[in-house]
Amino acid sequence: MSEADVIISLRDVTKRFGAFRAVDTVNLAIARNEFFALLGPSGCGKTTLLRMIGGFEGPSEGVIAVDGADMHAVPPNRRPVNMVFQSYAVFPHMTVGENVAYGLKVAGVSKREIPGRVADALRMVKLDGYAGRRSGQLSGGQRQRVALARALVKRPKVLLLDEPLSALDAKLREAMQLELVRLQHETGITFIIVTHDQHEALSMADRIAVMNAGRVQQVASPAELYEHPANRFVAGFIGQINVFEGELAEAGGDSCVVDVGELGRVGVAARGLNGRGGGRVTVAVRPEKIRLDTAPPVDGRIGCAGEVAEIAYYGGASHIFLTTERGTRINANVVNAGRDTQGAVRVGHRFWCTWDAADTFVLPDDPRAGADALSG
């Protein structure tokens, strides 16, 4: 990303509350016109980071710049950013139109200009015709749209959204996810959305920063995060993984050789292990990459045998849980592509769980170093 493309830049940003580091040495560059997500478990510092960008908190250390200008000492209302809060602040005693106009009046926009801009903003969020409606009478989804219109009407360069859809039910949330993507494309405003929901982040964002305990773990596109997670935390937070203990035998270039008790000695693609002579590593594979076979793996596939212990049926797919001879639990997802195909797998059946060696991750974390990284 070139300097000119950067709209938000964070350099070594830390926020301390007493001795506790809620945000710890964060470095980020967010591009113009980007749909960016901050994703991580509850309490990892997402809201605090967003509030610092908005100017509602000051960083304890580090520099935040918006459009090239250092924001230190710039109050929230003078920043070219606008925030939609988690509990969307809509004034219930005002009409929809008054709610949307409110920020413009406060900002001193001329009276003549306001009605046109309010109408534009309401059209954008598909609330045309609602200007005269009392806000207190709106549904949750409509109130959320009013909150969005209130933010958009001020034409910020960056819109900050803190878990904007968390109060909506699943169906409405999915519809609003598509709406937000459309709005971002239509307006060209940079969106930074905070969420703890991996599906939401994956489906909406151009890029995602995965956070844990105040620190950014990885910044990448959804597919890159899913297929090439940088560590065990990211691998486990974005989707599900099957984990094996391995011992690194050789590492060079983009591949390595690992000894994994249950899989034997396997050669697999791996990034970021260069220079490591050995040591314990985590070897992992996604559940949907595993095939249940009746014969041992051949042709560049690897795997091990297991017995079906449980089956969770989800309609479109089933999650098959197998136990290996050594007691490792393997989760294999199978798509129920035919109406009656599920019957082929039953509890007690034995299969070879096999997958393409190219679909294996090798992660630098020691799998015995503690499960805390996964529970977050």
Q: Which is nearer to ligand ADP, 7 or 22 (by Cβ)?
A: 22
376 binds ligand ADP (CB under 6 A): no
Q: Output 210 or 270, the one with its CB closest to ligand ADP.
A: 210
Q: In this structure, what is the dihedral angle of CA atoms 50, 53, 56, 62, given to the nearest 10 degrees?
A: 110
Sheet (strand 69-70) strand order: 20-31, 6-17, 61-66, 69-70
* 42 contacts ligand ADP (rule: CB under 6 A): yes
Whole-angstrom CA distances from 2 to 7, 9, 31, 32, 69 are: 11, 12, 9, 11, 16
Residues 39-98 that bind Mg ion (CB under 5 A): 47
Work out how close the CB of 372 gets to Mg ion at its nearest, in angstroms, rounded to a whole number.
Answer: 21
Site size for Mg ion, by CB under 5 A? 1
CB of 88 to Mg ion, least distance (A): 14
59 near 26, Cβ under 8 Å? no
43 binds ligand ADP (CB under 6 A): yes
Residues 135-154 close enough to bind ligand ADP by CB under 6 A: none
Write out the two tokens for 151.
Answer: 């933010």
Q: Which stretch binds ligand ADP (CB under 6 A): 41-49, 249-257, 271-279, 296-304?
A: 41-49
Residue 217 found at the interface with ligand ADP (CB under 6 A)? no
Distance CA 45, CA 38 (A): 9
Task: Report the run of H or E that residue 96 belongs to, with start and end.
Answer: helix 96-106
Considering beta carbons, is residue 47 or 217 the nearer one to Mg ion? 47
Answer yes or no whether residue 17 interacts with ligand ADP by CB under 6 A. Answer: yes
* Separation of CA 209 from chain center: 7
User: How many angstroms separate the CA atoms of 40 and 207, rounded?
Assistant: 14
Give the C-alpha separation, 266 to 304, whole Å.
Answer: 12
CA atoms within 13 A on the CB side of 44: 23
Q: How many residues form the binding site for ligand ADP (CB under 6 A)? A: 10
* 6, 10, 13, 22: residue in contact with ligand ADP (rule CB under 6 A): 22
Rounded least distance, CB 251 to ligand ADP, Å: 34
Does 212 contact Mg ion by CB under 5 A? no
Between 17 and 313, name the residue whose CB sits nearer to ligand ADP: 17
Look at residues 56, 109, 102 and name the one whose alpha carbon lies nearest to residue 79: 56
User: Which of residues 28, 30, 48, 270 is near ligand ADP by CB under 6 A?
Assistant: 48
22 interacts with, out of ligand ADP, Mg ion, none, CB within 5 to 8 A per kind: ligand ADP
State the nearest-atom distance from the C-beta of 192 to Mg ion, in Å. 13
- Compute the distance between CA of residue 57 and CA of residue 187 in angstroms, rounded to an integer: 27
Q: Does 47 bind ligand ADP (CB under 6 A)?
A: yes
Considering only 6, 44, 138, 213, the residue that binds ligand ADP (CB under 6 A) is: 44
Cα–Cα distance for residue pair 276/221, rounded to 1 Å: 26
Which spans of this chain sit near ligand ADP (rule: CB under 6 A)? 17, 22, 40, 42-48
Which spans of this chain sit near Mg ion (rule: CB under 5 A)? 47
